[in-house]
Structure 1
């Protein structure tokens, strides 16, 4: 069965063949090796000679499956190969169209900048960098072969990027310097280091995956905090808030995540991060019984699937005074709603567009004018 971001399993093999033929015909395998370096071990990556081998390695690692094509969608956007999307849609009607507006989730900011860097270099630029970095010259065939080699020799790394950018400036490659400077920040370096030491790859069999969801949902149901979970799930715009509001069964809420492509046998991070944020401690034990190597979040710095805005909303839920709930509803023109549960209140505010990323500034101003300073600070935590 396909998810909203997947295809039927029977079409997946044909999709891999189509993608492989597309990139091989254009001689872009080395570019793909640069792109997917964070998803396939170098020892395996270096021996790959065809795109189909790379796709199979990504599938084996759990990063790519018929149920979740997000990696392919992000790759199409990042490489600007939208003609591949057209070809896939023509051959496989079930192939979901790429959403150009959604942010990248499978590639770090650092990796995205390396792709832009590779695309901006002319052959003369590659020759200049070769002369600057190598004695004797390597005579690279293209920018991708150069990036592969310089990453392997650790000339290009997050921690050495400042020195590399300085060298590009010395040889007057202004466009390349601009691209790499735009993405090279302490946050980018931190994100990349997290990716390099990412949670170990796994891909649960379907039966074990479903059993994990059953076990987690049962424990969560016993623990409570279901409305808090609903608030968290509003972070994913592919799930309608009305659908979230009407569900009171945790397993059914997880099914909404599965349908949106945010939860799969190879990616249960949203559940782990949600449990960490909600303080549902027993979930960690359940996950580690199924995936012993799983690295459960230990701090807020290790939460990456849930946006900063959503984390601010959760902080607001923790800090909002119960005595202020009625006042907030009145100020928002929602006095007809009688709500004493802070998380249900937040859901009502979101449903009525009173607290959203677009209206947050107005909402915060209203709180400040009414002396709710702790609530204001909570919404500006991250």
Structure 2
């Protein structure tokens, strides 16, 4: 087993060769000492050997590595994880004996870092100037943020906010959850959340497809869309939307571990069929998964596109508002909400996982939740949830 596990670690580390190993170092910052991460000639394999020695990974628990593959969307890393789990078979234990995983803050920081610009005059240059790094030369954002975390310890809200304020709209919004997601589209930053929710009723109508797929073709399409969601989307957003339908039990939604399991739940009650997949198209439009149109075209040749902001007929106004609300949550707001309801932050994957949890407790639609939002400086978020209801 040791040989097989060692081979897997080597294959996984090979997926992060060259400059991409810097991303690996960044993601492991919470699990490895700075001295180990600061080694001049560190490699993915040297980092994994240290993780193994400290019990953070084991032959029957590669939770941490699996999360890294998912967060980075590294297809080679994902393939090596899948291959290893299949080769180990029943000896693999998903109960996580190592109890090591990526924190919500680490995943949020990573998401923000991927949006940081490195071009001349961009975020990288701004940060170097702001932190007065002088003669130091950082050619990439991953080395820069490692230096900042090591020297400045970006582990308090004040320091993180100071760091975020130097960034452009995209990464700053990810870190702080500011309501300026629409700035790039010319929307007023302060009102964008409300504007997005209000505009839903003014969008293009749904185009009902004239289709007649075979049963096999429909299932193959659902499998392909499921793979797309796993790579590019978010299963918790699916769960959040599908919880709208009373004909689908809460238990079935909660235990679903694959997007296909959720799509499959739509067939029996007739929510989708061989002749009607409008519901799925509306889901993908609401979630902003427009690129999945390529997957649909492989089965439906005359399908054109997933229209951005199309008229939504399958979901209540509240479900639509929840999606806009989720996009307004940054890491600080997520932490606050978790604290209100005694939810362990390290057990929450992201904002959508949190909203699924709140929805399952009947909290999202409660007056108490709205009251807490308004009382704690999140009035815009509260207004978005209530818009049009």
TM-score, normalised via structure 1 length = 0.44
Q: Which has the larger radius of gyration?
A: 1
